[in-house]
Structure 1
């Protein structure tokens, strides 16, 4: 395998990515057509509100939401969504964020949905009120979160309910949305990595979510620095007002009317909480093109390609003493079927940690999934591998066992 990438030219080892669409190693491979679109976008200028308005229409079309917005990653989408739920169309409240005195700033969240990523919500001034327990994980026979606990936590200071979408999260999203809407409170869904299947683009809006955040740099294969926020028109308008560059004389301030209605805000917003999360014209255009192609893609064929690659990797590793590979899924609903490799250190002569750490110190570095190291396992994800890279990753894994 060639090491002659731009990174080697810069004196930095590149990565063979057998871990999946992880931000810390560059996300996914951007679509060549999106790269071409970004290059063309760099050659001219555009009013960003006009461009975001065009992106909004595409996002609305593919998600079934009223409107959409391109953000600097899914985390930024969550932060801006929370800011919109807190400030609404109050430009005074927008200007004061992350200070929230005098406005509802609590976001109710099931305890088992809490992750480090909810820092995005807290960064704009939100206070998270978590509810429920870890009873199911402790084996008590009870569910972690009951619907009534969410309803009980909503009060006059509640700005939103936050929900992390996974196949196993509970209560069901539609139940949570019904509870929140009965109290006049919006629901923000973190669905950053929940594509494919493509049906998920609209599934969470259909379930009643008011704002849904997706990554633009994972399966969509847009710029790694992009995210998508889909939702209600009023909330997206607040997002735009807190994100776009509003440094303009009021007499000539005319942002794209499909995105922001100046008369409703009552003045020109100051530079908002989203100023540090700006998205360039190139990234917006790249995301638009990547999303168009994602929608047109034959997803069954893509998943079958991933599955075949995973099966081949598993078959080759199955011949290695001390390694026991298995597939996480062999159906078409999984984002990608990963190869889970269990390591018997008594037979292999090395631990899973030895293998994962050793691979990452090589040149090129080989990254496999290390989230299950305490259980003596690592994973190989086929999403970001070419066939040649898959062969190389297997070769290097085997070499660490046979050393």
Structure 2
């Protein structure tokens, strides 16, 4: 079975068949064709980016129920803007100094089990992460990893926020974290980058009372990979905008959109802030707006039916291969779309999981499967970013190595 040629073939760069879901390292997801067309049209003329951010913010506010919204250059960028907003507020002097936070409150409390490589985005703004709790759940001691009192105990006069990594298994419960944060008059930043669909999650965490919530624009929403959504309280979105927008302008002619902030409330024009390296182009902003509109109107039932039919192709093709056991895992829990979990018995199969996954990645086109469980001789094949032809092609290549 042949896979049709792509622009990457013309550039002599191996393309990837993505059975690993929305991984940034292989391009996230596929931008919706309607969003690509909108981006192309956006490239034909100019616009004041602050005006376009206002339009994007109106849509984000509408679909999330948040007071305001903003677009950064990805989920991680939006986390940096959130941390910068928590640290600086409306203080132009602090904005100018970031990421230097010497002498000013800059601590963000996190449950220890929520710490991950992505919290570097918070530290990039000048934040210091303060751990609360331990790893007891992971170690199986019978105790909870983080108790609410431990979060409260970690809060001090230097605390500017609590950060929370949202997953189905995240603990303590977000509602309780929000309550303790608000008791201490500090905001909660929720990293929910990969937590849509379901669509309801766009508003779920805001409804709980979270002050800033981050979603990726380049995963299941299928906007540009370099977009992220920051939804939350007006005061924090205002601060993020002040630290992100191009402010290189004479005060006499500076007329920022009043929907973002009132310049009369400020001491002057902010300098280029910590968000300047995180800028978003007019094309990406338009693409995200279009993709988000389409995501809201999408027929989720039909989409799930397509994913399941594609998973059938994979499951049927890998059944009864010697040394291989498969388990179909439904979507809507840890993964958005259904997937096939494959375990290899290296004593019976032609090769082990590491050898197989490594071989697939070296092909042209490269095949990327989910590799989080390789040490247990297992991998996953997710249907979210595949076509039917690609699903059949993956089955054919796995059979080539194992049959």
TM superposition score normalised by structure 1: 0.98
Q: In the alignment, which residue of structure 1 is the partner of 2:246? A: 245
8 Å contact from structure 2 (residues 198, 332) kept in 1: no
Give CA-to-partner distance per residue, 1:235-262, whole Å, 9 cap, x none. Answer: 0010000000000001110111101221
Q: Which deviates more, 93-102 or 312-321? A: 312-321
In the aligned structure 1, how far is the partner of 2:332 from the partner of 2:283? 36
Q: SS of the counterpart of 2:271?
A: coil
**Structure 2 CA distance for partners of 1:333 and 1:370, relative to 1, 3 Å:** closer
Q: Quote the Cα distance in structure 1 between the aligned partners of 2:332 and 2:152.
A: 36
Deviation at 1:331, TM superposition (A): 6.2
Cα distance change, pair 96–219 in 1 and its aligned pair in 2 (3 A):
same
The CA distance in 1 between the partners of 2:189 and 2:147, in whole Å, is 19
Task: Report what 2:27 is aligned to.
Answer: 26
Aligned match of 2:232: 231
Q: Is the 8 A contact 1:26 1:224 kept in 2?
A: yes
Question: Aligned residue for 1:360?
Answer: 361
Check whether the contact 1:110–1:131 (CA below 8 A) recurs between aligned residues.
yes
State the match for 2:151 in structure 1: 150
CA distance in 1, matches of 2:312, 2:141: 37
1:132 to partner: Cα distance: 0.7
Q: Within 2, Cα distance between the matches of 1:327 and 1:265? A: 56
Q: Please state how far the C-alpha of 1:332 moved relative to its aligned partner.
A: 8.1
Aligned to 1:63: 64
Partners of 2:309 and 2:115 lie apart in 1 by: 34
Change (3 A) 1:356 1:334: closer
Deviations, residues 315-350 of structure 1 (Å, cap 9, x unaligned): 221121111111222668951122110001111121
Q: Is 1:134–2:103 an aligned residue pair? A: no
Counterpart in the other structure of 1:6: 7
Q: Match for residue 398 of structure 1? A: 399
2:123 is matched with: 122
* Count of aligned residue pairs for this structure pair: 402
Q: Is the 8 A contact 2:205 2:213 kept in 1?
A: yes
User: Does the CA-based 8 Å contact 1:87-1:103 persist in structure 2?
Assistant: no
The answer (yes or no) to whether the contact 1:67–1:236 under 8 Å persists in 2 is: yes
Structure 2 partner of 1:109: 110
Are the counterparts in 1 of residues 331 and 339 from structure 2 also a CA contact under 8 Å? no
Whether the 8 Å contact between 1:95 and 1:270 is mirrored in structure 2 is yes
Please name the residue that 1:17 is paired with: 18
Q: TM-score, normalised by structure 2?
A: 0.98
Q: How far apart in 2 are the matches of 1:330 and 1:28?
A: 17
Contact kept? 1:3, 1:364, Cα under 8 Å: no
Alignment of 1:153-232 (within 5 A): 153-232=154-233
- 1:94-139 Cα offsets, whole Å, 9 max, x none, are 0000011232100000000000000000011000001111111111
Bigger shift: residues 308-317 or 204-213: 308-317
SS at match of 2:104: coil
Q: Is the partner of 1:230 in helix, strand or coil?
A: strand
Match of 1:284 in 2: 285
Task: Look up the SS of the partner of 1:348 in the other structure.
Answer: coil
Q: Cα RMSD over matched residues?
A: 1.2
* Distance in 1 of aligned mates of 2:4 and 2:37: 24
C-alpha contact 1:313 1:394 (8 A) present in aligned 2: yes
Alpha-carbon contact 1:74-1:215 (below 8 Å) kept: yes
**Counterparts of 1:228 and 1:43, CA distance in 2:** 24
SS in 1 for 2:315: helix
Q: Distance in 2 between matches of 1:331 and 1:243?
A: 34
Decide which moves more: 115-124 or 308-317: 308-317
* Preserved CA contact (<8 Å) 1:300 1:332: no
Counterpart of 2:271? 270
2-side partners of 1:311 and 1:208: how far apart? 40
Structure 1 unaligned spans of 5+: none
Q: How does 1:253-268 map to 2 (within 5 A)?
A: 253-268=254-269
**Structure 1 outlier segments of 4+, above 3 Å:** 330-334
Q: Indicate if the aligned counterparts of 1:307 and 1:330 stay in contact, CA closer than 8 A.
A: no
1:83–1:331: structure 2 CA closer, same or farther, 3 Å change rule? Answer: closer
Note if contact 2:181-2:187 (Cα within 8 Å) is conserved in structure 1.
yes
User: Secondary structure of the residue that 1:347 maps to in structure 2?
Assistant: coil
Aligned equivalents of 1:53, 1:279: Cα separation in 2: 13
Matched, 1:40 2:41: yes
Question: Residues 47 and 152 from structure 1, CA distance in 2 versus in 1: closer, same or farther, beyond 3 angstroms?
Answer: same
